Structure 1
Amino acid sequence: MGRWEPNARGRLAEAALQLYSEHGYEQTTVAEIARRAGLTERTFFRHYADKREVLFGGSDELRERFVQAVTDAPPSAAPIDVLAAALDAASGLFTERRAHARRRQAVIVANAELLERELIKLSSLSAALADTLRRRGVAEPAASLTAEAGVAVFKVGFERWIADAETREMAQVMRETLDELKAVTAGG
């Protein structure tokens, strides 16, 4: 193995997903992931804190997209419209990644530890959104409710988007899911 290899982080993530899919999360070791990626365990730990985090490497970027869209929304925009913009922005991360997202989600759903980690990441996303909404002047409890609703829409929309029969773009599925939430809250 060379001292420097291009795209080590991406190679580790792909190797982990392959191994988790083939052998299961619990049966896969960091050493096996590093070996499959053609790297060392030391390199693995330079990029990821543990073997769970390799599946959640994009969480920070997802949170940044959501927060940046909320920050950039026009000051006069209603919280629900700000949320719609954030969902559109987040959807851009998943362009051309549906097959990967399906494989990743199948691994997560099969393991309680990974499901717990995903919920922690979503809770962190909600907290960041609520904080950003409060900085925009959205009062409580509206800021927290909007953030929680946004994460719920993202979660439900994501699950719909990765369904085998779904072929539409993620942004379209997210908008439709948000519209369904609006209809429910309007009494429809």
Structure 2
Amino acid sequence: MPRSGAEARRRLQQAALELYQERGFDQTTTAEIAARAGVNERTFFRHFPDKREVLFDGEADLRAALTQAVAEAPDGLQPLEVLLCAFRKAGRILEENRPFSEPRLAIIAVTPALRERDLAKAASLTEAVAEALRQRGVADRLAGLAAHTGWAAFHHAAQAWIDDPSQSLDAHLLQAFDDLRTLSATALPAQAQPES
């Protein structure tokens, strides 16, 4: 039996991850997760409101890390550079949890209910990042666009890191933001430019 709440929570997360990989998300019950973790189902619900949340437990930590990093970024940086600083700091959370992060992303990718939850969580995180940028004085429209663009680059880098672990998440993140700069510096072909 787990001796502490933190240990029970960790065991529940690990049990859920194993069962989702073995059987699939839809075929796994909270009772089975609890049994695998060596606790009762009531303990499961003390830690998680439902079986989806087991995979999204770090959202509050990620949100706090991102918003704090945005607030603490050096003055004088453009919004995307502020976000690069923030995502580099927050990326350490993923790197420290790679044994959980990698299978978690694979399970989410093949489970519609989890993809929906992931999109909702991403929207919430993106709005928190946009608000942190607004607090730095970035105009509302630009803060929203930067937050969405930065989150897309972060997500792209995280997937690249899962696919190619020979480089750190940080290296993939730097590459994703370099790619953003390249995209924004590319001139539109004459036929694609707006008419004046």
State the TM-score bracket (shorter-chain normalisation).
over 0.9
* Aligned ranges 1:1-188 → 2 under 5 Å: 1=1, 4=4, 7-163=7-163, 165-187=164-186
Deviation at 1:76, TM superposition (A): 2.1
> 1:111 and 1:73, CA in 2 relative to 1: closer, same or farther beyond 3 A?
same
Distance 1:105 1:84 in 2: 22
Q: Is the 8 A contact 2:161 2:172 kept in 1?
A: yes
Closer/same/farther in 2, CA of residues 2 and 114 from structure 1, 3 Å limit: closer
**Cα offsets for 1:29-65 (capped at 9, x unmatched):** 0000001000111111111110000000011111111
Distance 1:29 1:167, change over 3 A: same
Offset at 1:2? Answer: 6.9
Q: Kindly tell me: are residues 19 and 85 of structure 1, through their superposed partners in 2, closer, same or farther at Cα, counting changes over 3 Å?
A: same
User: What is the one-letter code of the residue matched to 1:24?
Assistant: G
Provide the aligned length of Structure 1 versus Structure 2. 187
Secondary structure of 2:140's match? coil
Q: Which has more radius of gyration?
A: 2
Q: Deviations over 1:128-160 (max 9, x none)?
A: 011111111000211011100111011111111
Q: Which amino acid aligns with 1:182?
A: R
TM-score normalized by the length of structure 1: 0.94
Distance 1:155 1:4, change over 3 A: closer
Structure having the higher helix fraction is 2
Identity %: 43
Instruction: Please report how far the alpha carbon of residue 96 of structure 1 lies from its aligned counterpart in structure 2 after TM superposition.
Output: 4.2
How far, CA to CA, are the matches of 1:114 and 1:3 in structure 2?
30
Deviation at 1:6, TM superposition (A): 5.5
**Given the superposition, is the C-alpha separation of residues 185 and 48 from structure 1 closer, same or farther in structure 2, using an over 3 Å criterion?**
same
Q: What runs of 5+ residues in structure 2 fail to find an aligned partner?
A: 188-196
* Contact 2:83–2:150 (Cα < 8 Å) also in 1: yes
**Following TM superposition, where does structure 1 have runs of at least 4 consecutive aligned residues deviating by more than 3 angstroms?**
1-6
* Aligned equivalents of 2:109, 2:2: Cα separation in 1: 35
Separation (CA, whole Å) in 2 of partners of 1:19 and 1:124: 28
SS in 2 for 1:35: helix
Cα distance in 2 between the residues matched to 1:166 and 1:123: 27
| RMSD (Å) for aligned C-alpha atoms | 1.6
| Cα displacement (A) at 1:168 | 0.8
TM-score in terms of structure 2 length: 0.90
